[in-house]
Every structure is written in structure tokens, then in C-alpha cells.
Structure 1
Amino acid sequence: MTPNTSTEATTEPSEAILEASDIEHAYGSVDVLDGVSLGVPAGEMTALIGPNGSGKTTLLRIMARLLRPSAGRLQYRGPDVARDIGYLPQQPSFRPGFTVRRTLTFYAELVGADADVAMTHLEHVGLEAAADRNVEALSGGMTRLLGIAQATIGDPPVVVLDEPASGLDPGMRAHVFDVANELTASGQAVLVSSHDLELVDRHADTVALLDDGGLVQTGAPASIVDELEVTSLLEAYEASVVGEAGTVRVRGEST
């Protein structure tokens, strides 16, 4: 199958603003994704969860159009704007010697946004007090918040966040998800990966459980919990994960 990364727009509101269809990807002889289909609606948070090595980052990079799939189709159906998809990598890094303000101003200039937008975005993520601090002096949590501010410069209709809460203290993790909720409240689509299932359960509209290159559960957190007859998303995850290697299978499937 020949990869297709069409950006044809549509006015149908019921469709996902970003949709992956039958995505496959391999690194050499190693298959990482196998027939993954996932839609991301505007104004909602879609959370991608799964064990380490399940292909989450590869899928996010493909959906952010930073990596071309081996096969499958990616469609963006949103408005034609200067920046349609913003992306936060797992480990954001910025040029040493630049202040937080100058860093964000630089990205604003890249997407044709007004320089004053930089401070607005810093205020939005709670970093305005650190505006004149050099980026290398930021804590891990503050660096991730700067990364979110950078990913949202230009108000892209879709924002992809790869493990934005990883390694942060509980308060900072909650703050990151609160910021993500504010994005969806403004109508943006947020696709986020996270191992914090409690926060995912609390904030995500849709959860997609990925392992061994495929999606094994997709739906609203409450629907998945009900379907598996458990009491929390964590229990649903545990009910779908078997084996010491963390292989995920649909409940009842033979090992």
C-alpha cells in the first residue's frame, strides 16, 4: 500500500479533524505499527496509552506529520491555517542561552504570529514569571510547560503531546492536563500519550490502548471500564495486559 498524507479539508463536523487509517510502520525489518486507525475529534482529548515499546511515539510522530508511515493514510480535515498541527516531543529541548521569552518569540515569528503572542502563551501555561529566565535554568516541569506553549503557538487546530506529564510531581502533572483541557475547551483537538491512567481517566474523552503495533481497546474511559466489568481505567488496563513482557491482548484471547 502506498502511503498517503492527504490534507484535503471537509466541512463535515461529525468527522475527526485528524484521522489515521490503516497506518503501518517499520524500522528496517522491525514492524512497529500494524493497521492502526484512529480519529481525533476537535474539542476533545484523545489519550493514547500502552506499555513501553508499544508504538505510541511512532504513531504520534506520524500523526504530527513528522514521520512518514510505511503504509496507510493520514487526513487532516481542519481549517487551512499557517500551523495546523503542534507537537510536543517526549523530551523537549531548546537552544541554550535564550530566555523563555526569546525562545517563544522565535517560534511565534516562524509561524507568522505577533511577538506579543509569546507572553500570552506563557501566561496560559503559567510560565510568565519565568519569562526572562534562560531555558537551561528551567526545571523539567517548566521545560515541558514551555514545550506546550511552543506547541500551541499559532493556535493550531490539533495539538499532539507525547508524555507531557512524564517525570513530573503530582501537582505539575495535574497542571499539564488542566492546560490540555483548556485547549479542548477552546475547540482544539488534543492527542496525548500518558502513563498516568488516573489523569487520563479523569480528563480524556476517548482512550486508545495500543500494544504490539495495534489498537486493542478504543472508547470513552467509562465505556471501556463497563465493557471489561472493572471499576477504573487502571483495572481495565491491567485486565487487558498479560505476560511479563507487557503484551496487551483483548480479554479472553489465548496467549
Structure 2
Amino acid sequence: MTTNQTTASRSNGASDDETALVADGVTREFGSVTVVKDVSLTVRRGELHALIGPNGSGKTTLLELLAGIRQPTTGTVRVEAETQPRTIGYLPQRPEFRPSFTALETLTFYASLVDDDPEALLSRVGLSDAANRRVEDLSGGMTRLLALGQALAGDPPIVLLDEPGSGLDPGMRARMIDIARSLAAEGAAVLYSTHDLALAEQHCDRISLVDAGHVVETAPPEALLTDHDTTTLRGVFEGVAGGSDDAVTVLGADR
């Protein structure tokens, strides 16, 4: 049975406990392979929430299910957010844009769909100076920032980011997390996947540990360290990943 994403509109925004997005017993199968297994997860307004787990653990598929890009095989995804032109903004892991368009022309198209200001979007992600540069001439980091601008068009109350800092230099990675933090501070529910454990420990309000398609634990960073009797998220991560050093490339793991 396939169940669709549903929306619960509220005149006063999110529910009293600030819930914005809920996965309830979500499973996703591809043929005989189960990629996401009976996941229940709540994403809250005003929080920066990270998904961490080994490569191939199901993080990208889970984000796609939450964004409504894929439908669950069983279970439900429920949106609890105020009604507006765009409820969920999504940054894919490998964004692509139509070639020959400039950065400004690209965001002008997306902004026109939700009555937003493309120049303001460019400014927010720090690409005003690249407004007239064609998308194929942008660096990988600039392309990812442009994709973030697309995800923010319409000021969605829920923002899902799939490894937003992957492949970025430290300066651009810091800019990306600064934008994510500002979104949460403004009341958005921000969920992102990452392999940068130091970043997650330093900046996130809550972290969900993902392994073999399951969300095995969700808690603030400090609680995870206490529960796993360790002083770093690397210790937590290696416990979840079975102690395998080959399970994932960990950025900032020694911090």
C-alpha cells in the first residue's frame, strides 16, 4: 500500500509542540530491497536537526520521502505547517540547472512560481556578485548555493537539505550552516543530512542517528554523548555504525 503525504493546515502555524513535519512508521522498498524501515521522526519549527549515518544508510531516501518526492511503501508523512504557496524547500545532494541561464535568470524562474524576489534570494545565499554568470560557469560550491536559493524561494516553513556542505571549502561550508542556523532562528524547521560530525555537534539542536534504514535514536548532541558514554560524536557514530572505520568518510571527526 502506498500512502501520500498529507497536510494539516493550522491558522496559527505549527502545533503547540512546534511540530512541523512528521514521519509515522514510514517504510520504502525498491523491489526486494528495503531502504527505509519503519521510521518515525518529528521535525520541529525553530530547530536545526541533523541526520547522520553511514553511506547507504537511507538518509537521502528518507529526505525524499519527507519532501514528497517519493511516496512511502507503507506509513505516512504528515505536514503540520501554515498554508502558503510553498511549504517545503528541498536542496538535493546533486543539484542541476538548465544550462545557458544565468544565476539570476535561474532564480527568477523559481521565484516567479511563488511570487518571490530573485535578487533578494541571490543576496541571501551570497551570490549577488555572480548574478550574471551562467550556471555552467559556476563553481561546485556556487551551484550548491544557487540550489539553496531555489529551495528558499517562497519562504517555506520547512527546509530539507541533503548534505549541503558536501564538497565545499570551509568558507562556503560555514556560509551554508550560517544560513541554515538563521532559517531556524527565524522559525523554520530545518533538517539536513551530513557527514560533518563536528558541525552537527556544534550547531544542531537535535541529531537523528540513521543505520541500515532505521532511525535508531534522536536526541540533542549532549544527550547522545551522555547516553553513549563518550566525549565526541565520533564515538556515538562508530557505535551506531558497528565500529567500522570504512562505513563513512567522517569530516571533523577528531574534534
Q: How far did 1:244 drift?
A: 4.5
Q: Deviations over 1:85-143 (max 9, x none)?
A: 01010011111110100100100112233xxx111111111111101111111111111
The equivalent position to 2:100 in structure 1, one of 86, 91, 97, is 97
Using the TM superposition, give the Cα deviation of residue 215 of structure 1 relative to its aligned residue in structure 2, in angstroms: 1.1
Name the SS for the 1:17 alignment partner. Answer: strand
Q: CA separation in 1, counterparts of 2:2 and 2:30?
A: 16
- What is the identity, as a one-letter code, of the residue corresponding to 2:183? L
* 1:1-255 equivalence runs, <5 A: 3-10=3-10, 12-113=15-116, 117-242=117-242, 244=244
Q: Distance in 1 between matches of 2:2 and 2:138?
A: 43
Q: Name stretches of at least 5 consecutive residues in structure 1 with no aligned partner.
A: 249-255
SS of equivalent residue, structure 1 residue 159: strand
Quote the Cα distance in structure 2 between the aligned partners of 1:207 and 1:181: 14
1:26-66, Cα deviation, whole Å (9 max, x unpaired): 00110111110111101111111100110001000000011
Asked if structure 1 preserves the Cα contact closer than 8 Å seen for 2:53 and 2:241, the reply is: no
Counterpart code for 1:85 = I
Tell me how far 1:217 sits from its aligned partner. 1.8
TM-score by length of 2: 0.92
Taking only aligned residues, the RMSD between alpha carbons, in angstroms, comes to 1.7
* SS of corresponding position for 2:63: helix
Asked whether the 8 Å contact 1:212–1:247 carries over to 2, the reply is no
5-14 or 206-215, larger mean C-alpha shift: 5-14
CA distance in 1, matches of 2:235, 2:203: 17
- In structure 2, distance between residues paired with 1:125 and 1:235: 33
- Could you list the per-position Cα deviations for residues 183-223 of structure 1 after superposition, in whole angstroms to 9, with x for gaps in the alignment? 11111111100101111111111100111110112100111
Cα displacement (A) at 1:174: 1.6
Contact 2:99 2:136 in 1 (8 A): yes
When residues 25 and 44 of structure 1 are mapped into structure 2, their CA distance, relative to the original with a 3 A threshold, is: same
Matches of 2:159 and 2:24 in 1, distance apart? 19
Runs of 4+ in 1 over 4 A off after TM superposition: 243-248
Unaligned 5+ segments in structure 2 are 249-255
Cα contact 1:174–1:199 (8 A) shared by 2: no
Q: Corresponding residue for 1:251?
A: none
* TM-score, scaled to structure 1: 0.92
Cα deviation digits, residues 217-242 of structure 1 (max 9, x gap): 21001110111111111221123221
1:173 and 1:41 map into 2 onto residues whose CA distance is 23
Deviation at 1:12, TM superposition (A): 2.4
CA distance in 2, matches of 1:219, 1:129: 40
Offset at 1:243? Answer: 5.6
- Counterpart code for 2:170: P
